[in-house]
Structure 1
Amino acid sequence: MNIQVYKPSQQAIGQFDGGKITEQKPIGFPGEGSHVKRVGPLFYWAWAKAEKAGYIPLHPHQAFEIITYVIEGKAEHGDTLGTKSTVGPGGIQIMQTGSGVSHEEGFVGPNMEGFQIWFEPFVKEAVKRKPSYTQFAHEELPTEVKEGYRLKTVIGEGSPVQLVADVQLFDLEINDGESLEFPVPDNYCLAMLAIRGNGAVNDTDFQHKDFIVLTAYGKTNALIEAKKGEKLRLIAILVPTEVDYPLYRK
């Protein structure tokens, strides 16, 4: 097992609409300066915020599977498939961009907060598929509540979200001083962003806004703990370290 913690200074930053939308990027695009270039099929990860509202005009995508997951506020979406839609807190938008689609985005507050994350299927096969758009509200995604934690499966077993790339995505909340044991299969990575509070994973400390990448060599249990006096919230993505198709070179 290997655990790496990347501070905000080791992540990329970005902005849109004259700074109305700001981003911290655990995994950025080439040249943006993020220390982590990708994690298996996890290609790009941006944590976006808009105090009031911001807009990104129509632009094209191809092949990648792109999700927008909302924490606060709402995300608006329009595309060349004819879609016009909005999702609120806890909701997810999914674009499987296939042979090509253009879309526009709005991030609406107050204090909008969400993620855009790109996953990479086999590009040569993906570009042959018809592009599609789907979305699901918070209430449609399975949530397990136990004493000490809440585990929401955004992508994975029980979720209605279906992707081609081998990925699972979780929204975790761990109460003050409590812990959660999370299984990580052999040759998989658990990539986590601490969006609230401070904690530790297998005795490795991390702080709010840190990006943590745990790589398993042999089946591993990640013991994730909230520090005393802290309520911890993490967005966690489980992906294989390697896939059986060539990945796009950044």
Structure 2
Amino acid sequence: MMIQRYNVDQQGVGQFDGGKITEQKPIGFPGEGSEVKRVGPLFYWAWAKAEHEGYIPLHPHQGFEIITYVISGKAEHGDSLGTRSIVGPGGLQVMQTGSGVSHEEGFVGSDMQGFQIWFEPHLREALRRKPTYQQFEHEEFHQIDFHDGVHVKEILGDDSPVALETDVHMWDIHINHPFIYHQQIGKGRSVSILVLEGRGRINETSYEAKEFFVIEANELEEMNIQAEAETRLIVIEVPTTVNYPLYRK
């Protein structure tokens, strides 16, 4: 198992609406400062924050599968399909952009936090599909609440209501007190972890809030997250390589 650790200075930054929206980018575009450019089909990951409110005007997308996951505050969405929607904490917006769609976004506080994450399906096939938009509320997702104060919410995967073309699993993990959380990583899979809060160790590697990790498994291996303080993590698992050509940034 190979674990790579990236502190805040090794991640990218961005902003919109005159700085009303700021972004920390564990996975960014060239020139944004992110050392990680992709992990398999995980193509882009931005942690957006808005103290009050900020807006991004109408702009186009094609091919990629794009999710917006809300931590606090709310995300507003409008698109050329005629959609107008708002989701609050724990909610998810999903765009399968297919042959092309334009959308606009609002990030509304107070103290809004959320993620926009792009996944790359087989683009040649995706471009032949009609674009779609779906919205899911927090209560629609499967969550396991362990008796010892560990909460694991499956955002993408086998028990999720969301169906993507890209092979991806995603979890929101909240550990309320010192505890060791175990999760297996399959052969040929990679796991990306963004630490929202807390401190502890991932196997033998220490972590702190705002750090980003990429883990590659060559065999079936076990990841152990030892929380030393209240911890919240966003964990995404994808294949390390895929059997279709990937877009060159």
Deviation, structure 1 residue 169: 0.8
1:122 pairs with 2:150: no
Match of 1:231 in 2: 230
Distance 1:56 1:135 in 2: 19
Aligned to 1:244: 243
Tell me, yes or no, if structure 1 residue 168 matches structure 2 residue 169.
yes
Quote the residue 1:158 is aligned against: 159
Cα displacement string for residues 148-174 of structure 1 (whole angstroms, at most 9, x for unaligned residues): 411000011211000000011100011
Secondary structure, in 3 states, of the residue corresponding to 1:18? helix
Q: Does 2:226 align with 1:220?
A: no
Q: TM-score, normalised by structure 1?
A: 0.98
Q: Which runs of 5+ in 1 are unaligned?
A: none
Partners of 1:149 and 1:179 within 8 A in 2: no
Looking at structure 1, the residues matched to 175 and 204 of structure 2 have their Cα atoms a distance apart, in angstroms, of: 16
- Find the residue that maps to 1:139 and give its secondary structure: helix
Q: For structure 2, which runs of at least 5 residues remain unmatched after alignment?
A: none
Per-residue deviation at 1:203?
A: 1.6
Shift of 1:30: 1.6
| Alpha-carbon distance in 2 for matches of 1:225, 1:180 | 6
State the SS of the aligned residue for 2:135: strand
Q: Which portions of structure 1, spanning 4 or more consecutive aligned residues, are displaced by more than 3 angstroms? A: none
Query: TM-score, normalised to structure 2's length?
Result: 0.99
- Please give the root-mean-square deviation of Cα atoms over the aligned residues, in Å: 0.6
Quick check: 1:177 aligned with 2:175? Answer: no
The whole-number CA distance in structure 2 between the counterparts of 1:49 and 1:114 is 7
Identity, in percent, stands at: 60
Report the Cα offset of residue 237 of structure 1: 0.2
Letter in 2 for 1:84: R
Q: Distance in 2 between matches of 1:91 and 1:21?
A: 19
Distance apart, 1:198 and its partner CA: 1.1
Whole-angstrom distance in 1 between the partners of 2:50 and 2:18: 11
Q: How far has the Cα of 1:175 moved from its partner?
A: 2.4
Higher mean alpha-carbon deviation, 172-181 vs 158-167, is at 172-181
